[in-house]
């Protein structure tokens, strides 16, 4: 199963990657000790979109057709990256319980579904994935944490992907206000599933902290500093974060850090 995840990760064309994700058989026995040298070509992705710095991605109004298409494209890019992130954590990190790998294989399937929904909606707007520039912040953090599973769990699902829980209601509102009911409905599906994905990150981060005798809040603060995680600013979707398994102590620390950075 972990080898299947690596094969899917290396697929460049979105259609090929989605098909390869669908072929991952989570019922197979999981060899948690399996290790292989990192091959060239990670992550597999198409030649487009052009990847630029985050400040070079233009912000456009969701009240214009072009602006809504650019917004849907940016969401599709996030979900395509999220497929790769889930696949990468399955193949890269050995020594975890079988349930860890099955959890993240399930996340990869759901991320592939999200990408497919957004790509289809984008196509209905007269565009394809790759038509707009995009930034690579999610994968850059994956590269920084490629040698540290605790840091990966802390800073990808529990930080960057959890930001999606905070941002989703406002984006959904913009789409609904602009009359894009299909886009708003897709955001509802994504938010529902992403709560579960962040919960999986919390579950396994907590598992490793307990195993290593670490305080989750203090350790998170240290990892965020060490790996240069972005400072998070509110408003926070506290209801969704609670559903995803963040403790009250973690939410309090999150809000205090946001106030301190203002």
Q: What is the pLDDT of residue 190?
A: 97
Secondary element (H or E) of residue 118: helix 98-124
- Count Cβ neighbours within 10 Å for each residue of 221-260 and write b for 16 or more, e otherwise: eebbeebebeebeeebbbebbeebbbeeebeebbeeeeee
For the residues 89-104, what does the mean pLDDT come to? 97
Res 244 pLDDT > 70: yes
Alpha-carbon distance 203 to 6, whole Å? 23
Q: What is the pLDDT of residue 231?
A: 87
Q: What is the pLDDT of residue 60?
A: 72
Q: What is the pLDDT of residue 125?
A: 96
Q: Tokens 């995840």 identify what position?
A: 5
Q: What is the pLDDT of residue 55?
A: 65
Counting every residue, how long is the chain?
A: 262
Q: What is the pLDDT of residue 215?
A: 97
Res 245 pLDDT > 90: yes
Indicate the average pLDDT of the chain: 94
Task: Say if CB 18 and CB 115 are below 8 A apart.
Answer: yes
For the residues 21-38, what does the mean pLDDT come to? 91
- Model-level pTM greater than 0.85? yes
* Cα 146–Cα 152–Cα 155 angle in degrees, nearest 5: 130
Phi, psi for 134 (deg, rounded to 5): -150, 165
The tens digit of pLDDT for each residue in 155-203 reads 999 999 999 999 999 999 999 999 999 999 999 999 999 999 999 999 9
Window from 24-28, 114-118, 243-247 with minimum mean pLDDT = 24-28
Res 252 pLDDT > 70: yes
Burial class of residue 3 (count of CB atoms within 10 Å of its CB; 0-12, 13-18, 19+):
middle
> Between residues 59 and 229, which one has the greater pLDDT?
229
Q: How many CA atoms lie within 13 A of 136 on its CB side?
A: 14
DSSP 40: S
Q: What is the pLDDT of residue 257?
A: 87
Phi, psi for 51 (deg, rounded to 5): -95, 125
Res 259 pLDDT > 80: no
Alpha-carbon distance 118 to 114, whole Å? 6
* Cα 122–Cα 49–Cα 6 angle in degrees, nearest 5: 100
Res 59 pLDDT > 90: no
For the residues 241-261, what does the mean pLDDT come to? 91
């Amino acid at each position: 199963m972990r080898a299947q995840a690596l094969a899917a990760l290396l697929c460049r064309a979105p259609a090929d990657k989605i098909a390869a994700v669908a072929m991952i058989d989570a019922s197979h026995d999981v060899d948690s000790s399996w290790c292989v040298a990192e091959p060239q070509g990670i992550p597999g992705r198409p030649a487009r979109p052009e990847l630029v710095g985050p400040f070079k991605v233009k912000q456009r109004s969701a009240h214009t057709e072009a602006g809504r298409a650019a917004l849907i494209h940016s969401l599709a890019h996030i979900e395509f990256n999220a497929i790769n992130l889930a696949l990468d954590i399955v193949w890269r990190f050995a020594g975890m319980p079988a349930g860890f790998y099955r959890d993240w294989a399930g996340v990869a399937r759901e991320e592939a579904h999200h990408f497919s929904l957004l790509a289809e909606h984008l196509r209905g707007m007269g565009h394809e994935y790759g038509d707009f520039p995009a930034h690579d912040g999610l994968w850059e953090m994956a590269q920084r944490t490629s040698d540290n599973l605790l840091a990966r769990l802390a800073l990808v699902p529990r930080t960057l992907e959890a930001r999606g829980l905070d941002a989703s209601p406002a984006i959904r509102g913009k789409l609904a206000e602009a009359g894009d009911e299909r886009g708003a409905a897709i955001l509802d599906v994504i938010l529902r599933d992403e709560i579960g994905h962040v919960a999986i990150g919390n579950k396994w981060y907590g598992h490793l902290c307990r195993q290593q005798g670490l305080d989750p809040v203090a350790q998170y603060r240290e990892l965020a500093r060490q790996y240069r995680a972005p400072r998070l600013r509110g408003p926070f979707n506290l209801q969704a974060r609670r559903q995803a398994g963040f403790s009250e102590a973690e939410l309090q620390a999150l809000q205090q850090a946001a106030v301190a950075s203002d």
